[in-house]
Structure 1
């Protein structure tokens, strides 16, 4: 189904909004002033979260710089490179879920929505990441509800992946840190939510709350399993990122333990959503678990440097995605228009 030219209404149905690609009425056209105000607010929000993330990196750099100065520069470079690849796999997991929910978005556009939006986690009250992802997606024709479901499920898939990897450390956790075992109560719930029927039901529920049409078909098992596989790969690379920072002080076989430590740290930090990016919670879990094979001082140094690298990686990947989207503007806009759920997408 094609759209009528923007700014024109269909002569036989002058009072009806233009149809969307899935046959549902589009939102009523916004007044020009309101549309401009929303666009300005989106940019203000984007600039604000970039400012918060940059400010956070600057504030911790004073503590990080002396630690980095004592580390092997090649280990640092390799660790950061592996971290960036892990972040790309995490984006692929998110894109897999978005596509599985019925909206095909080019990878660069998807990365822009996901990576720029997630910088909102650096604003106190990490729910801002979801708000920003929804707003960026909306301006390129993706329903807010669809972006929200993809982001929430990506977080859930990450929890399941972290707990699967965390199982390798269950003996040590039960002896040294039994307070972390409660996290594994989330595993059966997470696995149940990954069932295609459950995911389809929950996605349609959120779409209904946002007054959007239901999914045209049930989510496939390949979508959930594919996202889980990409997420597991991402965490394994994060574990390798930590191991490289040890400069060989820990045996290579501990990569799984490091991956589990970072994964469980991310999961625990989800419950500290008031703190910017779960600061402090993730480091506490990371130090506790890596401290099983390193000294407390070494574990603390690695946790501090890793936090700085993740912040730098978030800023770098978000900037790269935004720049790539800018350079591919014409091609991406054509794709946006072809798959848009709204007629008022940003040119």
Structure 2
């Protein structure tokens, strides 16, 4: 990990990384464009706009879950500062390797005086929170899904208690410190608390309900019955699909695996052709959301760097120390609980 972090220490390499990651995300959409174009004709424009908006809000709430863990470990950031770190780092998941989003978050977090080992720990914990909350919702969805799905993914029922134990703060803190010790890193400066884990879990649950709503709106637009049961199936089905896609690290962002699982969950409610439309558009809309937010985060980061550079130059000419400290209002220590 240390060697990977070295790759992002220079501005030129950072720029190349962002361009490659954004390009990979754009290619994920462009490579399926013929199918996407056909699928677009099956969904009303208003539904497409609503589901794209839901996709953006879903990614935003995953950032809030990550931010809650970051705050709990001693690095409170404003939402704007958190956005520059999280949204840009997330496009790294479209690059092969499965670690680039973690590497990018660690390196960009260093610009906000966040120790790199803390950034890696925060990303690991936030991913664990996502997995546990996803499995909790998936367990219910498996019971509603067709019999073949229940047989194939029944393991989520017994896996849930095992991973749930890992979120108990004393257990999780010991695991994190053990991992840091094995990698010859200093221990965390402060432990995770139950309040921090609960906050991160709450934001994560909201994000799953939003992602499920996106899938549900697409599915009902092509024929699925709009009932509470089908919404529960969409929420748990997407959560399970995300978890399986995440565990298959050999493909960027779980491409293919996630669609296969979500399609299997919906097959009892829709015909095969409609299932293809839903899973394809869901993926494309979420990729577009990552692209839009990644570009937004990159612009915010560039503006922050420009303001800090101007302030530093001004402070140097005036002989006043601390020119950097007044830059852009994104410093660690500012109102960690606010959403502004």
Give the TM-score band, short-chain normalised: 0.7 to 0.9
- Cα deviations across residues 157-176 of structure 1 (Å, max 9, x unaligned)? 11111111112223345822
How far apart in 1 are the matches of 2:55 and 2:252? 20
SS of the residue 2:10 aligns to: helix
What's the secondary structure of 2:113's corresponding residue?
A: coil
More displaced 10-residue stretch of structure 1: 247-256 or 217-226 = 247-256
1:211-236 deviation per Cα after TM superposition (whole angstroms, max 9, x unaligned): 65433433211111111111111010
The residue aligned with 2:317 is none
User: What is the CA distance between 1:119 and its match in structure 2?
Assistant: 1.0
- Where 2:31 maps in the other structure, the secondary structure is helix
Alignment of 1:223 onto 2:196: yes
Q: Identify the match of residue 289 of structure 1 among 230, 252, 265.
A: 265
Q: Structure 1 CA distance, aligned partners of 2:125 and 2:166?
A: 9
CA distance in 2, matches of 1:272, 1:36: 25
TM-score with structure 2 setting the length: 0.82
Give the direction of change, closer, same or farther, for the CA distance of 1:332–1:299 in structure 2 (3 Å limit). Answer: farther
**Counterpart residue number, 1:118:** 90
Q: Distance in 2 between matches of 1:103 and 1:116?
A: 18
Alpha-carbon offset, residue 41 of structure 1: 2.3
Displacement after TM superposition at 1:201 (Å): 2.1
Q: Distance in 1 between matches of 2:327 and 2:183?
A: 26
Q: Is 1:97–2:73 an aligned residue pair?
A: no
Local SS of the residue matching 2:74? coil
Tell me the equivalent position of 1:233: 206
Equivalences for residues 1-347 of structure 1 within 5 A:
38-173=10-145, 175-177=147-149, 178-208=151-181, 213-245=186-218, 246-247=220-221, 249-253=224-228, 254-328=230-304, 329-330=307-308, 335-336=330-331
8 Å Cα contact 2:141/2:236 also seen in 1: yes
Cα 1:174–1:299 change in 2 (3 A) is: closer
- In the alignment, which residue of structure 1 is the partner of 2:3? none
Aligned equivalent of 2:315: none
User: Structure 2 regions of 5+ residues with no counterpart?
Assistant: 1-5, 309-325, 335-340
Aligned CA distance change for structure 1 residues 109 and 71 (closer, same or farther; 3 Å): same
- Tell whether the 8 Å contact from 1:109 to 1:332 is kept in structure 2 after alignment: no
Pairwise CA distance, 1:258: 0.3
Residues 107 and 116 in structure 2, CA contact (< 8 A), matched pair in contact too: yes
Structure 1 pair 111–334 and aligned structure 2 pair: CA distance change class (3 A): closer
Q: CA deviation at 1:282?
A: 0.3
- Relative to structure 1, the CA distance from residue 318 to residue 55 in structure 2 (aligned partners, 3 Å threshold; closer, same or farther) is same
Following the alignment from structure 2 to structure 1, what is the Cα–Cα distance between the partners of residues 95 and 120?
18
User: How has the CA–CA distance of structure 1 residues 278 and 286 changed in structure 2, closer, same or farther, with 3 Å as cutoff?
Assistant: same
C-alpha distance in 1 between matches for 2:9 and 2:216 = 47
Displacement after TM superposition at 1:294 (Å): 1.4
2:256 & 2:247 partners in 1: Cα distance?
12
Q: Secondary structure at the match of 2:224?
A: coil
Task: Give, in whole Å, the separation in 2 of the partners of 1:56 and 1:66.
Answer: 16
